[in-house]
Amino acid sequence: MVKLLKRETKQLQADQKQKYRDQKNASDSDNPPWERRKLEVRLAETEKVVREKNDHIEQLLRDCRAMEQENQQCNSQIQQLTQQFNECTQQLQMATHNYETLEENFKGRKSFKGFTND
């Protein structure tokens, strides 16, 4: 969208320059006053459109920069959350292993007590 607006702006600027050249090439005596006024109005309208397009492009660029910054922050948060998840997964694996070890030891002691009480 930004590229399209830039292209339109460049085209408008080129048109504006061409109209200016055309107007400049035509001497004041060749054009009646109403034609000169018409050209001045068209030139002013074109300049206004170009300014509006440039303002719109600048706003889009600011929005893009803000979105890029937000994207970087999100990527950073994703990395942190992934790291925390991996750490939690390791802790869970270790806790599961410890639980299984304790459970085996407990079963072994229970069977040993049963063996000695006979």
Residue-wise pLDDT for 23-41, tens only, equals 666 555 567 888 888 888 9
User: Domain-by-domain residue ranges, the chain?
Assistant: 2-117
Tokens 């948060």, residue located = 77
**Model pLDDT, residue 27:** 52
Structure token digits, residue 96: 């599961």
Residue-wise pLDDT for 75-91, tens only, equals 999 999 999 999 999 99
Residues in CB range of 1: below 8 A, 6 or more apart: 60
Instruction: Report the largest interatomic distance among the alpha carbons of the chain, rounded to a whole angstrom.
Output: 130
**pTM of the entire predicted model:** 0.53
